[in-house]
């Protein structure tokens, strides 16, 4: 598989620059790229891959982008197609952050419903 880590980092920087900076308030842990593939804890047979995550901890709030997951699922995509998938994921995780700040959980509920539908398939 082609190493596209630098490309992914550059794309994320471009997407970051497109977003109003006020949206990143209290995201003091920043956006982190992890090279591993992340499987959802409720995944059966490693068939449910996480592309990103919003993390809150004593160290701060951060968004994780799983490079390995992206390459596993979308490594074949063109630059522009990959950029769109990264944009969708970053916006999704940023929405979790903004909803947490607003004490809302609509996206969390939507994600849980997706997992419940996934679990019902078997």
pLDDT digits (tens, 9 = 90+) for 64-75: 999 999 999 999
Note the pLDDT tens digit of each residue in 25-60.
Answer: 999 999 999 999 999 999 988 899 999 999 999 989
The CATH number covering residue 103 comes to 3.30.2010.20
C-alpha pair distances (Å), 20 with each of 24, 31, 64? 8, 15, 19
Strand partners, 50: 38
Phi–psi pair at 102, nearest 5 degrees: -90, 0
Collapse the DSSP code of 57 into the 3-class scheme (helix H, G, I; strand E, B; otherwise coil) and give the result. strand
Domain encompassing residue 11: 4-121
pTM score of the predicted model = 0.93
How many folded domains does the chain comprise? 1
Residues 6+ away with beta carbon under 8 Å from 38: 49, 50, 51, 53, 64, 66, 68, 69
H or E element: which one contains 22? none
């Amino acid at each position: 598989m082609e190493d596209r880590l630098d490309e992914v980092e550059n794309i994320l920087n471009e997407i970051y620059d497109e977003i109003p900076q006020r949206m990143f308030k209290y995201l003091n842990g920043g956006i982190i790229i992890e090279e591993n593939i992340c499987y959802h804890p409720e995944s059966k047979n490693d068939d449910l891959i996480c592309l990103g995550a919003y993390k809150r901890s004593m160290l701060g709030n951060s968004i994780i982008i799983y490079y390995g997951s992206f390459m596993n699922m979308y490594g074949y995509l063109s630059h522009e197609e990959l950029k769109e998938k990264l944009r969708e994921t970053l916006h999704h995780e940023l929405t979790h952050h903004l909803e947490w700040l607003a004490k809302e959980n609509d996206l969390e509920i939507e994600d849980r419903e997706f997992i419940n539908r996934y679990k019902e398939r078997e």
